[in-house]
Amino acid sequence: MAITSFVSFLLSLLLILVQAKGRNVSTCPKSFSCGDFTDLSFPFSLSTQPDCGMMSMSGCDAKPYPRIQLVPGGEWYYALDMHNSSVWLRDPKLQTTLMQHNCQAFNKNFSLPNSHFMSFHMVNIHSFFKCISTSYNARNITHKKNNHFVGYNIYNGCEGFNIYYNLSKGADNLPTNCSLIRLPIHSSHGDLFDVLGPEFLAEWKLSDECNECHDGGGQCQTDKTNKFSCHKDAKTPTSTTDQRKETTGRNMVGLIVGTGSKICLIAAMYSYYRIFMHII
Ligand SMILES: *[C@@H]1O[C@H](CO)[C@@H](O)[C@H](O)[C@H]1NC(C)=O
Ligand SMILES: *[C@@H]1O[C@H](CO)[C@@H](O)[C@H](O)[C@H]1NC(C)=O
Ligand SMILES: *[C@@H]1O[C@H](CO)[C@@H](O)[C@H](O)[C@H]1NC(C)=O
Ligand SMILES: *[C@@H]1O[C@H](CO)[C@@H](O)[C@H](O)[C@H]1NC(C)=O
Ligand SMILES: *[C@@H]1O[C@H](CO)[C@@H](O)[C@H](O)[C@H]1NC(C)=O
Ligand SMILES: *[C@@H]1O[C@H](CO)[C@@H](O)[C@H](O)[C@H]1NC(C)=O
């Protein structure tokens, strides 16, 4: 009997240990600094703690600007200036192609996915029409496109396609062999490469339910089916990875309790066996 209680004591000790190890809850800082930006908070987070926010920042020690990723897995931009719910960004790749007057600049398309709890608006982004121009029928197509794009500027300095744009006109219906691309603009004068710029202002808005969730100490998340969920832990915000750790932790507890009870049973049987032998 003494052995059984000793074993169960050992078991509970193990249980506590495993639970403490399994629940490795990383607490998110209330605010943090990155580069020259101070007092940053949700929805920003450091890339080392991606679960603490929705927009990751990295290169905080890099000069002159740290980098920011607006959406997980998205492009990294330089963060030039920050306001309450907007940020001026620079795309270093676009900057290079624009400086070189490289037509690869038109392979880009600035669009940000809106999640269920966060929507973006890019202020100085404009629509451009990129239309295929094959040498065989270039003149005819250009002629046809010109009919469609009456009152548009045309840029034909790129091989294989023309760019049509009018800074006073937004998106229009698309003629065949044309695609819509959205690029940042910084000037209304000059040739297309002067009009385009590598910097843009991105504004964001969190949904009311996400704001409420965050104010209540929770974290806005989307589950696998892309549905909004507010993840709350008693005190500390938990992340999805932590949740996973927790479950593995529980599995481990189950495992140990399982093996433990077997050991316990064997020990008990052994002691009864010895007592029994003694009596005889
Ligand atoms: C717990 O988190 C810390 C940092 O937050 C990390 O260094 C440590 O390895 C983690 N432990 C486990 C068991 O995951
Ligand atoms: C930024 O937000 C804080 C509180 O969230 C508010 O007090 C301040 O006026 C805001 N600033 C601007 C420029 O909107
Ligand atoms: C560029 O993004 C816009 C949405 O912002 C989309 O409508 C358009 O089809 C995209 N163009 C290309 C070429 O992917
Ligand atoms: C342009 O189209 C006209 C008919 O609309 C056709 O006769 C002519 O051969 C075409 N030119 C080229 C270069 O394709
Ligand atoms: C662009 O569109 C506006 C409004 O439709 C028009 O007044 C202007 O002349 C156009 N610009 C060019 C370069 O055609
Ligand atoms: C679209 O482009 C293809 C070649 O890329 C050409 O064969 C076709 O005729 C074009 N269609 C129109 C309507 O211009």
Q: Say yes or no: 174 and 198 in one domain.
A: no
Q: Taking the complete model, does pTM exceed 0.85, yes or no?
A: no
**Domain count of the fold of the chain:** 3
Q: Say yes or no: 39 and 173 in one domain.
A: no
Q: Which residue, judged by its Cα, is nearest atom 7 of ligand 6?
A: 134
Domain of residue 47, residue span:
29-124+185-236
192, two tokens: 């297309």
- d(C-alpha 34, C-alpha 66), whole Å: 7
179, two tokens: 């695609």
Q: Label residue 29 by pLDDT band (50, 70, 90).
A: confident
Q: Say yes or no: 40 and 85 in one domain.
A: yes
Q: What percent of the chain has pLDDT over 90?
A: 42
Q: Say yes or no: 63 and 10 in one domain.
A: no
- The pLDDT value recorded for residue 84 is 86
Say if ligand 4 is within 6 A of residue 48 CB. Answer: no
Q: Say yes or no: 116 and 253 in one domain.
A: no
Over residues 135-143, the mean pLDDT reads: 58
Say if ligand 3 is within 6 A of residue 181 CB. Answer: yes
Q: Which residue, judged by its Cα, is nearest atom 2 of ligand 5?
A: 168
Over residues 79-98, the mean pLDDT reads: 95
Contacts with 2 (C-beta within 8 Å, 6 or more apart), sequence order: none
Q: Are 252 and 22 in contact (CB under 8 A)?
A: yes
For 125-194, give the DSSP string.
EEEEEEEE--TTTHHHHHHHHHHHTTT-EEE--STTEEEEE-TT----PPPTTEEEEEEEB--SSSSHHH
pLDDT tens for each residue of 190-226: 999 999 999 999 999 998 988 888 888 887 876 666 6
pLDDT tens for each residue of 239-266: 444 444 444 444 444 444 455 555 554 5
Q: Say yes or no: 91 and 79 in one domain.
A: yes
Q: Is the pLDDT of residue 186 over 90?
A: yes
- d(C-alpha 259, C-alpha 6), whole Å: 16
User: Which residue among 71, 126, 181, 183 is best mutated to probe the pocket of ligand 3, counting the most ligand atoms within 8 A of its Cβ?
Assistant: 181
